Structure 1
Amino acid sequence: MEVISIIGLEYILALYDMQHIDLAERLGIKKQNINMWIKGKQKIPKKYLPVLKELFGINGDYFNKNINEVDKLEIQKEKLKRDLNPIIKKQELVYIAEDINDMVQIPVYDKEEINTIERTIEKVKIMNKFKSALEVVDPNPYIDTYKLMVEILEKGQHEAIVHKTMEALAHYLEILPDKITTGEEQKEFESEIFEVFDDYNY
């Protein structure tokens, strides 16, 4: 399946329903310049990036780059923040599987639209990691393992045993830091499952 790349500026203009000519007038340049930027034939000069950032309230890194699905969602989130002026109600401690696996504080807003898009961004990131894992080896010798994981998640995603098992495996494989645990009950469960691993010489 062919992935069509899109320059950030083009996506942002569409999201804000702004015509090329309107942006050109605001920047005091010709419409042809905007067209060249969007087609990727010319980079947006650095002097215009702060103006664009101020105009749209979007991080300047997005305007020149070919954006992916996560970038699009991040841009939508920034627009929502600007439109809704949300207030942070509280900070929530969650596990983030990024370059450094750890617990981080994330804001919870009073506008559910922002919280929803935050969750969507996290889901897309997880799906992308899963796809990358599937594509590591071709043919993938562990494809049956991935099939089994999907089956388990489909049938038992709300079962406590599934979460406990995944967390136990994560600790066993040293994916989760030691401080990330749900308490004594989880430790007891992990101890029992590790005994099973030992029985099978894992």
Structure 2
Amino acid sequence: MIGLEYILSIYNLQHVELAEILGIKKQNINMWVKQKQNIPKKYLPVLEDLFAVRSNYFSREITEIDKLEIQKEKLKKELKPLIKKREQQFAIGEINDIVEKTIYDKEEINTIERDIEKAKLVSKFKEALDIVDNNPYLDTYKLIVELMEKVQHEAVLHKTIEALAHYYEVLPTFVNSQPEQEEFETEIFEVFDDHNC
């Protein structure tokens, strides 16, 4: 599904209604949605303003993450949330860095942002699984999933994963979730060093 079609569906807007707003024929909208004709550049800013979404969403096939992003922008437009506070957090992604996370006064916005973050994690996990066709570490992934299902709230699991992230320099040393993490890591790093082949 292309972005414009999805956007029209969540706004419950018919092709003819959008055509009237833009002052064009319904057939033009049909051609855009069917990708038989590109959306003329002069209409992109109008669509951006109308739906509060960047123009790159309108003409391309969209992902589940894109759908969530579009829903978030629709919610922002409807609820007009205020920024309650901004928090610094470490983000792991293409560039591992400290980023500013916005917390809104409307929980619906915060919830959809968490949903987007979860969807991105699931996507990255799937990409990691698909790195090779016959993944030799499939058992490791199975164990990770089992641990996340059964003991995700256990402190020792979080501390150990954070220690591994520090050990392999995925996470900078200045990022610590708890004050006692450094002491824990000093001890566990000795074990890692003893067993690292």
| TM-score bracket, shorter-length normalisation | over 0.9
| Percentage of matched positions with identical amino acids | 64
SS in 2 for 1:137: coil
Match of 1:64 in 2: 59
Match of 1:51 among 46, 57, 67: 46
Match of 1:164 among 146, 149, 159: 159
Match of 2:132 in 1: 137
SS in 1 for 2:5: helix
Determine if contact 1:103/1:180 at 8 Å carries over to the other structure.
Answer: no
Match of 1:39 in 2: 34
Matched, 1:154 2:158: no
2:21 partner amino acid: R
Distance 1:140 1:8 in 2: 34
Match of 2:8 in 1: 13
Matched, 1:174 2:157: no
Question: Runs of at least 4 residues of structure 1 off by over 4 A?
Answer: none
Match of 1:75 among 44, 49, 70: 70
Distance 1:65 1:115 in 2: 27
- Judge which range, 7-16 or 96-105, deviates more: 96-105
Unaligned runs of 5+ in 1: 1-5
Q: Deviations over 1:74-94 (max 9, x none)?
A: 000000001001011111222
- Judge which range, 70-79 or 21-30, deviates more: 21-30
SS in 1 for 2:24: coil
SS in 1 for 2:180: helix
Distance 2:139 2:162 in 1: 21
SS in 2 for 1:158: coil
Root mean square deviation of aligned Cα: 1.1
Matched, 1:92 2:87: yes
Determine if contact 1:102/1:176 at 8 Å carries over to the other structure.
Answer: no
Determine if contact 1:7/1:38 at 8 Å carries over to the other structure.
Answer: yes
Distance 1:42 1:176 in 2: 46
TM-score (normalised: structure 2): 0.96
- Judge which range, 108-117 or 192-201, deviates more: 192-201
Q: 1:184 deviation in Å?
A: 4.2
Unaligned runs of 5+ in 2: none
Match of 1:191 among 161, 175, 186: 186
Q: 1:138 deviation in Å?
A: 1.1
2:42 partner amino acid: K
Matched, 1:25 2:20: yes
Matched, 1:110 2:89: no
Q: 1:183 deviation in Å?
A: 4.8
Count of paired positions:
197
Q: Deviations over 1:94-135 (max 9, x none)?
A: 222221112211111110000000000000000000011111
